């Protein structure tokens, strides 16, 4: 699933947690998450595949496809 990148934001790798370039984010939609500037919930995890927030249990079972947001 490709995340829409309209407006301000950046891509983050679900594997390393580091910010990646826009082109890398678009080439690797299953392992990157597009984060809008100023959005998101504190202390939660987001699926790289669907872009939806997931439980901590699901995030710990799928560390390569989830990003913990703080």
Record the tokens describing residue 8, joined without a space. Answer: 């301000």
Q: Mind listing the pLDDT tens digit for each residue in 6-35? A: 567 889 888 888 899 999 999 998 888 888
Residues contacting 15, CB < 8 A, separation 6+: 31, 64
Tell me the C-alpha distance between 16 and 5, whole Å.
21
Quote the CA–CA distance of 66 and 60 in Å, as a whole number. 8
Q: How much is the pTM?
A: 0.54
DSSP 7-33: SSEEEEETTT--EE-HHHHHH-TTSEE
| Averaged pLDDT, 26-50 | 78
């Amino acid at each position: 699933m490709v995340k829409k990148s309209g407006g301000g934001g950046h891509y983050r790798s679900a594997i390393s947690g580091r910010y990646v370039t826009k082109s890398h984010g678009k080439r690797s939609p299953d392992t990157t998450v597009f984060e809008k500037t100023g959005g998101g919930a504190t202390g939660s995890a987001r699926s790289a595949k669907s872009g939806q927030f997931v439980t901590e249990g699901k995030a710990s079972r799928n560390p390569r496809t989830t990003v913990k947001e703080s």
